[in-house]
Amino acid sequence: MKKFQCVVCGWIYDEAAGAPEEGIVAGTRWEDVPDSWACPDCGVGKADFEMVQIA
């Protein structure tokens, strides 16, 4: 499971945790998150996210 971080505001999407309050269930892989999805904190689109290295 990977984590992705919004390059604009720093919000982190953790695949393991999903984003249940955004309607994305735990374990959803980033590639399966819809393209129409936007960062809950700043509203940028999926294309503006970048992968964050995890330990």
Partner 1 sequence: MSPLIIIGSGLAGFTLAREWRKLDSATPLHIFTADDGGFYSKPMLSNAMAGGKTAAQLATKTAAQMAQELNAEIHAHTLISAIHPERRSITENGKEIAYSRLVLAKGADPIRLPLQGSGADAILSVNNLDDYTRFRAALEGKKRVAILGGGLIGCEFANDLLAGGFSVDVIDPGTRPLAALLPAEASLKLQEALGRQGVNWHFGVKAEAVERSGNALQLRLSDGSALEADVVLSAIGLRSRTTLAAAAGIQVNRGIVVDNRLQTSAPDIYAIGDCAEAQGKVLPYVMPLMQQARTLAKVLAGSEAELSYPVMPVVIKTPACPITVCPPALGVEGQWKVESTPAGVRALFIDSAERLHGFALSEKATAEKNSLAQQLIPS
- Per CB under 8 A, contacts with partner 1 among 19-38 are 21-22
Strand partners for 45: 38
Cα–Cα distance, 53 to 21 (Å, whole number): 24
- In one-letter notation, the amino acid at residue 54 is I
Distance of closest approach, residue 36 Cβ to partner 1, in angstroms? 14
Distance of closest approach, residue 32 Cβ to partner 1, in angstroms? 20
Q: Which of 52, 53, 35 is nearest to 44 (CA)?
A: 35
Exactly one of 17, 30, 44, 46 binds partner 1 (CB under 8 A); which one?
A: 44
Q: Is 7 in the site for partner 1 (CB under 8 A)?
A: yes
